[in-house]
Amino acid sequence: MHPAFSVIFFTTASGAGYGMLVWLGLLLPLHRLPATPWFGVPALLIALGLATAGLLSSTFHLGHPERAWRAFSQWRTSWLSREGVAAVVTYVPAGLLGLVWLFGDPNGVAGAVLGPLAAACALATVYCTAMIYASLKPVRQWHNAFVAPLYLLFALYSGAGLVAALVAPFSASLALAPALAAMAFGAVAAATKFAYWRHIDADHGGPTTADATGLASYGTVRPLEAPHTEENYLLKEMGFRIGRKHAAKLRVIAVALAFAAPIALFALAAVAGGGLRLAALAPAALIVPAGLLFERWLFFAEAKHSVMLYYGSTVR
């Protein structure tokens, strides 16, 4: 599939923003975050800003972005519509939580109720985003049991890293919890991603051109001529190809940036203290999204739509 940057940025930025919101909502009732509004309000604004920027960027890939609002009406059957509804609903508890942090006591009852509620809405939104792709049966690389967990893990991983980096200037001790969470979820995300790559690299005996054309009983089927003399929409969007050597190199870069380097820094931050903890958390929190951009690019580039069977390609 064609890896449009707008969609890559959308899944990375919105995932990080909603991941931040999850940790802000869950750590607040546990009194593991600074109670000062100088932390809470900017942190919530950054989380919602990333989520909003990602959602808006996703409309750039539409033929008619001005019609994006119509997607909200299809929430009964469309994961895209459910994502939009969940995203809008999330603003309510998150906005109220910001007001509590600004004018009230975030460690009180209001924070204990609104925090987990905002976290639940954020997780629901990320899950809806994941299911947009995981529900597409014609794309084998997406329609599997790894996609939804990976989206959730990446959101929790990148969100925890950003929260840890924001907490550290206020309290090195409070930054330990999100730093440990980032390290743990990063390790689980890396293991799950490796399992995902093994899954899509395996030959599962998928459909062939003969199956697609209904001519399997006649033996091997191949196109006599190309369906088109020039590139069309299907070839551009769904027939994007990436060489195995390039994919292998990008996987190494993704692993190094998204997992190896930041997890090592999170581990350093966990055992260090004071200024060294802050010095380790700041670059780690920024490296994770950069690495996930490579991972997201591969997620789209390595996907093959079944429609390419009619062009003599393979979707295995």
Q: pLDDT tens digits, residue range 22-60?
A: 999 999 999 999 999 999 999 999 999 999 999 888 777
23 or 2: whose pLDDT is higher?
A: 23
Q: What is the CA radius of gyration of the chain?
A: 22
- The rounded distance, in Å, linking the Cα atoms of 150 and 298 is 14
Residue 283 scores a pLDDT above 90: yes
Q: What is the pLDDT of residue 285?
A: 95
Question: pLDDT digit string (tens) for 63-109?
Answer: 666 666 666 777 788 898 899 899 999 999 999 999 999 999 999 99
Find the range with the poorest average confidence among 217-221, 237-241, 271-275.
237-241
Q: Which of 224, 203, 205, 202 is nearest to 213 (CA)?
A: 224
pTM of the entire predicted model: 0.89
Burial class (CB in 10 A: 0-12, 13-18, 19+), 34: buried
User: For the chain, which domains are there?
Assistant: 5-311 (1.20.1630)
* Residues in Cβ contact with 43 at an 8 Å cutoff, skipping those fewer than 6 apart: 20, 24, 163, 166
Question: pLDDT digit string (tens) for 164-213?
Answer: 999 999 999 999 999 999 999 999 999 999 999 999 888 666 666 666 66
**Cα angle, residue 33 at apex, residues 31 and 39 outer, rounded to 5°:** 140
- The rounded distance, in Å, linking the Cα atoms of 101 and 187 is 32
